[in-house]
Amino acid sequence: MSNSLLDDLEWRGLIAQSTDRKELEQALSKPISLYLGVDPTAPSMHLGNLVVFLVLRRFQLAGHRPIPLVGGATGLVGDPSGKNDERTLNEEKLVADWVTKMKKQVEKIIDFNDKKTGAVMVNNLDWTKPVSALDFLRDIGKHFSVNQMLAKDSVANRLATAGISYTEFSYQVLQAFDYLELYRRNDCKLQIGGSDQWGNIVAGLDLIRKVEGGSAHALTVPLLAKSDGSKFGKTASGAIWLDAAMTSAYEFFQFWLNSDDADMPKLLKVFSMKDRKEIERLIETVNTNPGAREAHRELAREMTTLIHGADMAKKVEEAAKALFGQGEISELDLATLDSALSQLPKTQVKKGEDFPTWVDLLAATGVVDSKSAARRIVKEGGAYLNNKKVESEDFTPSKSDLLHGKYLLLRKGKRDLAAVEVVA
């Protein structure tokens, strides 16, 4: 069990650091409990969180019991890792609301119902809040060397730049306390996290050794970057979130579908739960038939199904096809159409006003730089309204052409899309 799991994680590029490999393999030779923490610093998790939660899922599928921890306590403090300045401290009520939202997202990724490996959801506020400041300093704080804490990279970087408050400086003590509590309560023997969490996790191992005389393990996952070195999970419009209200299911699907070919081998290995043979086959299709985008489509389906459900994944894929004339666009519901067209170049027409010509509308969206260029597209046979060919340069849409009484879809050639929105 242990060898195949760790070997698979290594092949996928999902191990950055770990405690002694042989001892970890020995520990994983039988089922153990392990935990992964996420702090509610926003209303939703994002793709960076998903990377590590899928590693937790892989451990569960290998027979281990996952303990997802949503940090109701640490979320009130803020982790200095990767930050050049202090986090905004959010109100307790707001953090509690974000905890609830994140728990629902975790439940889509990890199985809570399996009799042998069913996950145990925990909130570190449950054991942190009852402890007084004096008790915490006497029982936990005394085990920490300030010299070692100052040497931690994230702390040293902050001290060299903007400085750091005692609040964020103490974060690693709180996280170490979490590991100690889960070691005591759940016999938790492994903590996983992003590679920027290594120092915090090791602090927990030291605390377990000093307080309980016990031993446990740590494993971190590399922070994912694109092939060009830029941050993964970011687009021009911002982060890719797991909450549909923040990143629509359509936009989520399109993120994977439009990923760079050079990134696909890494993305498939990191995110897909498919086996090695199938992933290698999909990677080969990127090299031999990139135009088909089979690998992109398979990963988009798999990830969208996981986060948004099979019905929504099917709906947004059909929407994507419909936009390019491979399905009936008039059959899309308004919510899906809103989401699909939100990412396109757009112009607006006021309700009750007559429409300009197709040529005028396309030029207004900015897809072409002049009306003469738009006329040329009509002459060359590459002009479409709602996927129906426009034959005349003077063609003017009518109210009956509107989709849901709100939109017109313009297409130039095979792939360049734009939208017209009727507004009050």
User: Three-state SS string across 40-109, please?
Assistant: CCCCCCEHHHHHHHHHHHHHHHCCCEEEEEECCCHHHHCCCCCCCCCCCCCCHHHHHHHHHHHHHHHHHH
Two structure tokens written together for 144: 């920490």
pLDDT at 82 over 60: no
pLDDT at 398: 93
Tell me which H or E stretch contains 201.
Answer: helix 198-212
Mean of all residue pLDDT scores within the chain = 90
pLDDT digits (tens, 9 = 90+) for 112-147: 999 899 999 999 999 999 999 999 889 998 998 887
Output the DSSP codes for 129-178: TTS-HHHHHHHTGGG--HHHHHHSHHHHHHHHTT---HHHHTHHHHHHHH
Contact criterion met (CB below 8 Å) for 176 and 207:
yes
How far apart are the two ends of the chain, measured CA to CA in Å?
Answer: 62
Which position has the token pair 């897909």? 272
Q: Tell me how crowded residue 374 is: count the other CB atoms within 10 A of its CB.
A: 25
pLDDT at 1 over 50: no
Contact criterion met (CB below 8 Å) for 295 and 283:
yes
Q: Tell me how crowded residue 405 is: count the other CB atoms within 10 A of its CB.
A: 10
pTM of the model: 0.87
Domains of the chain with bracketed CATH: 2-221 (3.40.50.620), 224-342 (1.10.240.10), 344-424 (3.10.290.10)
In whole angstroms, give the CA distance from residue 13 to residue 257.
Answer: 22
Q: How confident is the model at residue 253 (pLDDT cuts 50, 70, 90)?
A: very high
Output the DSSP codes for 311-380: HHHHHHHHHHHHHTTSS-GGGS-HHHHHHHHTTS-EEEEETTSPP--HHHHHHHHTSSSSHHHHHHHHHT
pLDDT at 330: 87
Contact criterion met (CB below 8 Å) for 304 and 316:
yes
pLDDT digits (tens, 9 = 90+) for 20-57: 999 999 999 999 999 999 988 889 999 999 999 999 99
pLDDT at 160: 78
Contact criterion met (CB below 8 Å) for 191 and 201:
yes
Least confident of 152-161, 238-247, 380-389: 152-161
Percent of the chain whose predicted confidence (pLDDT) is above 90: 68
Mean pLDDT along residues 79-90? 66
More confident residue, 207 or 141: 207
Which position has the token pair 């990134």? 263
In whole angstroms, give the CA distance from residue 162 to residue 13.
Answer: 33
Q: Tell me how crowded residue 62 is: count the other CB atoms within 10 A of its CB.
A: 17
Contact criterion met (CB below 8 Å) for 131 and 178:
no
pLDDT at 79 over 70: no
Q: Tell me how crowded residue 138 is: count the other CB atoms within 10 A of its CB.
A: 10
What is the number of H-type helices and E-type strands within the chain? Answer: 20, 13
pLDDT at 370: 94
Helix (H, G, I), strand (E, B) or coil at 120: coil
